[in-house]
Amino acid sequence: MKLAYWMYAGPAHIGTLRIASSFKNVHGIMHAPLGDDYFNVMRSMLERERDFTPVTTSVVDRHVLARGSQEKVVDNITRKDGEEHPDLIVLTPTCTSSILQEDLQNFVTRASLSTQADVILADVNHYRVNELQAADRTLEQIVQFYLAKARAEGEIPDRTATPSVNILGMTTLGFHNQHDCTELKKLMADLGITVNEVIPANASVHNLKRLPQAWFNLVPYREVGLMAARYLETEFGMPYVDIAPMGVVETARCIRKIQQILNQGGASVDYEEFINTQTVHVSQAAWFSRSIDCQNLTGKKAVVYGDNTHAVAMTKILSREMGIKVVWAGTYCKYDGDWFRDQVKDYCDDVLITDDHAQVGDAIARVEPAAIFGTQMERHVGKRLNIPCGVIAAPVHIQNFPVGYRPFLGYEGTNQICDLVYNSFTLGMEDHLLEFFGGHDTKEVIHKGISAESDLTWTAEGLTELNKIPGFVRGKVKRNTEKFARDRGISEITVETLYAAKEAVGA
Amino acid sequence: MTSLADTQPQALNFECETGNYHTFCPISCVAWLYQKIEDSFFLVIGTKTCGYFLQNAMGVMIFAEPRYAMAELEEGDISAQLNDYEELKRLCLQVKRDRNPSVIVWIGTCTTEIIKMDLEGLAPKLEAEIGIPIVVARANGLDYAFTQGEDTVLAAMVQKCPEKAVPQEKEERGNSLQKLLNFGRKQEEVKAEESAYHDHPPLVLFGSLPDPVVTQLTLELKKQGIKVSGWLPAKRFTELPVIEEGYYVAGVNPFLSRTATTLMRRRKCKLIGAPFPIGPDGTRLWLEKICSVLGITPTGLAEREAQIWANLEDYLQLIRGKSVFFMGDNLLEVSLARFLIRCGMTCPEIGIPYMDKRYQAAELALLEQTCHEMGVPTPKIVEKPDNYNQIERIKALDIDLVITGMAHANPLEARGINTKWSVEFTFAQIHGFSNARDILELVTRPLRRNHALKDLGWNQLVREEAQV
């Protein structure tokens, strides 16, 4: 047992559902108690999704506990098949079904006899893997399933005539994934590479058999897609690029790796000129690093914390591209900690690998950086310590699902990151100067409350009650109540007066 | 089919569907209960799934150092390689050291049910060892929905309420405390205040409400000369009300049936069965019923109610004749539907997770009577609804307003259907005369907003769904 107030990565089933609901026409069925379908709320709220989230629950209740699910799971699968006609149904185990140890695979086998849809059981163990690992595995599992099927039917296509790519790992509820996806497609178009398939976001499972016709796979995020890429490499000899094109230097490295793979595959491409043009003229980041603005950031202290992809890339950008001193960089992807350590070892003084937010908070308080780059939790730590924070990784709130175009990857991504970094530091600087000079407006605020000139008095109880009203409306309530009292010639305001006034003005 | 001229009241029609519906897990009750009971600490004994839900459902509250935490079960706990008692003791001592609460509430979850962790058995032992009361509530998704979580906590707290009023020999201390509470007012004033009440048997109210609402309802009863002896829960665990055999109790919320049962069976209280004080109609009948049970003639309530209704007129104009559909997720549905029908709306269906016909008897009777008086058909009450079927019915019935959870709200709006997020009703102040307007503020908000947008011509924001 451990005492936990906050977690960075969610439970395994969230990962599976993120993959399932990213595909088009794939339905997730959770074997879970009532209330575990909170995923639907998150997707509908955070992604501002217009469509019903294709996830339902086969409810585990007392009866299931007593007698087992029996026909229930099978019935729910066949029912969804009839109602929604999905291509694939993914039966998703949860922490509850992990302990019940029901033979879910058996339900899947039985159900698939009577469904039009394919049915698979997500191969994830709640107690062994987290959201990210589960997402990675589920994507691999679905790819494997459809490629095995295609192979059995002899439907594996040949490689495309011109260079083409699959982009693996774009998911729903992923941090700025939608925008990154658009940016990557644009980058591929600029490089003259056809995008063969993007999975899982908005993909159809019917198209998975087309995956092997691409020349290579691009895996922009360390957390999701790597297992599928490795599988495709082993089975079909497809090379993959797993360098996240985040930041000017890494984007160039990613493109050079692509160039190498394409040339090995028989194409003849030279992207050096493209990289140069983009770096010098399209992205503002290279210029920004030379500008006086960025000079002022030299040696400033920052800390970085997030998932592997974003924390690594951010650490490299701050240290290598902007001359900022990263005191420590950290990740909550403990299961992949060695990779993280290896990636950042030259770019920061210290490495922190933990998923305990208190430890992260303490480490921030200890070094007192000028800015923090982290998740929403670090943003709140920053608020408490009065240190600005740029949010670079999940877990995130609704404001991190912007409708405006905000990629983190590619050349436009480098521009966005410049703004994020610079705004975080200058805000901190402005704040500091304001404090130094005594604030924006040093004149004392003149209280304009009507009560100042009136003979109205509040009883102790009335005042206590007034103070229970949230601060942002208290002034208005006070004014309304006093107006009410004055109109009726009441000189002493009691609790009763307060509520009578509320009823009268209807507020 | 009954014709419009038919004056025979229709009986309510109850149905039960598949239970495939969306609601919050009952452990969400810690979100409002830890704020209500200021000296408490809630320890949810469950998995990452529970923690993830709470973390996301409570949103920004999480960052305000809440007095709740997960006791996150690991594989060793599930396979009993670790000793439950020792593990809980270690965590509770840590909580005691860091927060020093007056009570630790253990929330049992699905997992503790399945692995049959004997929380009720462990609690008294550990309580004695660490010196802090431990209350055990099994608020799990196997058995309960959303607000029923509060019911399980309050039912467990009933057992911790003192059984006897402070005995006379402690008068000295009682007096000084009294003096303190009366802010040094003169004895005569206090006596005068006491005499403002009729002589009636003690009345304890149950249900967690924000403090301002507690004050409002207490004052409403005071106007009738009724004294509220205590409130379950109180602001602090150490202030739980005395409950003696024969006390009268009344519920303020429709989801408190276990608490009511516990008060009657275990503490031998008399339950006043009344409609709930939601809407001016419900509030008036709630007050009248309490008055009549305590042998007091209510005064001024008809005028009070009429005046509240008059103040609501601008909102009533917006909803009169419109239809409302409750998908059902928080058990407030019957009371809200009854109020909205009185406001002039029609309601074809009330979805509800669980229906206790005995505890809600007076509310159901009022619903039936309201439909009869307003000349509208009685709603179908669907227990354990099936959200998929409900959405089919909503489309077929062309509903003006759907009250539903966040999982369905955006998708319905995108299809041109007005929605109100149901969870807001559990957090907004909706009880008593004064807050009737707040309910209508919530109900009319989508109508007012969408009215403002209606001329823009983009009501359907999804592509035509493919007909397979």
pLDDT greater than 60 at residue A493 = yes
Q: Are residues B316 and B430 in the same domain?
A: yes
B106 near A CB under 8 A = no
pLDDT greater than 90 at residue A143 = yes
**Which pLDDT score, from 0 to 100, does residue A447 have?**
43
d(CA B112, CA B43): 13
- pLDDT tens, position by position, A392-421: 998 888 888 999 999 999 999 999 999 999
**Which pLDDT score, from 0 to 100, does residue B190 have?**
55
Pairing of strands B68-72, A2-4: antiparallel
**Of the residues B265, B294, B323, the one at which a domain ends:** B294
B29 is in an annotated binding site: no
Q: Are residues B448 and B374 in the same domain?
A: yes
Any domain includes B186: no
Give the closest of A35, A496, A499 to B141, CB-based.
A35
**Which pLDDT score, from 0 to 100, does residue A437 have?**
66
Q: Are residues B248 and B380 in the same domain?
A: no
For residue B465, the chain A residue with the least C-alpha distance is A51
Question: Alpha carbon of A45 to those of A134, A173, B70: distances in Å?
Answer: 22, 10, 24
Q: Are residues B219 and B109 in the same domain?
A: no
Q: What's the predicted TM-score (pTM) here?
A: 0.89
Any domain includes B15: no
Q: Do A1 and B52 touch (CB under 8 A)?
A: no
pLDDT greater than 90 at residue A179 = yes
Q: How far is A472 from chain B (nearest CA, A)?
A: 16
Q: How confident is the model at residue A130 (pLDDT cuts 50, 70, 90)?
A: very high
Any domain includes B5: no
A65 near B CB under 8 A = yes
- pLDDT tens, position by position, A229-265: 999 999 999 999 999 999 999 999 999 999 999 999 9
A153 near B CB under 8 A = no
Q: Are residues B305 and B451 in the same domain?
A: yes
d(CA A375, CA A393): 5
Q: Which two tokens stand for residue A334?
A: 């403990």
Number of structural domains in chain B:
3
- Residues of A343-378 as b/e, b for ≥16 C-beta within 10 angstroms? bbeebbeebbbbbbbeebbebbeeeebbbbbbbbbb
d(CA A174, CA A172): 5
Across B260-360, where does the E strand assignment appear? 270-271, 323-326, 346-352
Q: Are residues B317 and B432 in the same domain?
A: yes
Q: Are residues B218 and B359 in the same domain?
A: no
Task: Write out chain B residues lying below 8 Å of A130, CB-based.
Answer: 48
**Which pLDDT score, from 0 to 100, does residue A450 have?**
43
**Which pLDDT score, from 0 to 100, does residue A442 have?**
46
Task: Write out chain A residues lying below 8 Å of B145, CB-based.
Answer: 34-35
Q: How far is A142 from chain B (nearest CA, A)?
A: 24
d(CA A416, CA B385): 46
Question: How many CA atoms, within 13 angstroms, populate the side-chain half-sphere of residue A484?
Answer: 21
Q: Are residues B390 and B246 in the same domain?
A: no
For residue B211, the chain A residue with the least C-alpha distance is A468
A377 near B CB under 8 A = yes
CATH number of the domain that B77 lies in? Answer: 3.40.50.1980
Q: Do B74 and A380 touch (CB under 8 A)?
A: no
Assess contact for A2 and B110: CB atoms under 8 A. no
Q: Are residues B426 and B306 in the same domain?
A: yes
**Which pLDDT score, from 0 to 100, does residue A453 have?**
53
Task: Write out chain A residues lying below 8 Å of B90, CB-based.
Answer: 1
Q: Find tokens 């796979």 and name the residue.
A: A217
d(CA A189, CA A210): 19
B141 near A CB under 8 A = yes
Active-site choice (A293, A362, A419, A431) = A293
Specify the 3-state DSSP secondary structure of A13. Answer: helix
Assess contact for B332 and B255: CB atoms under 8 A. yes
B110 is in an annotated binding site: yes
| Domains of chain A by start residue, with CATH | 12-129 (3.40.50.1980), 153-282 (3.40.50.1980), 287-437 (3.40.50.1980), 457-506 (1.10.8.550)
Any domain includes B282: yes
**Which pLDDT score, from 0 to 100, does residue B465 have?**
55
Verify whether residue A180 is a known catalytic residue. Answer: no
Q: Do A42 and B62 touch (CB under 8 A)?
A: no
ipTM associated with this complex? 0.88
**Of the residues B244, B268, B294, the one at which a domain ends:** B294
**Of the residues B294, B325, B352, the one at which a domain ends:** B294
Q: Which two tokens stand for residue A325?
A: 């001193």
Any domain includes B158: no
Any domain includes B70: yes
Stretches where chain B sits below pLDDT 50 are 1-7, 169-174, 177, 179, 466-468
Domain, as residue range, for B273 = 203-294
Q: How far is B407 from chain A (nearest CA, A)?
A: 4
Q: How far is A83 from chain B (nearest CA, A)?
A: 9
Q: Do A4 and B141 touch (CB under 8 A)?
A: no
B17 near A CB under 8 A = no
Any domain includes B392: yes
- pLDDT tens, position by position, A318-367: 999 999 999 999 999 999 999 999 999 999 999 999 999 989 999 999 99
Any domain includes B234: yes
- pLDDT tens, position by position, A430-481: 666 666 666 555 444 444 444 445 568 888 888 888 888 877 778 888 888 8
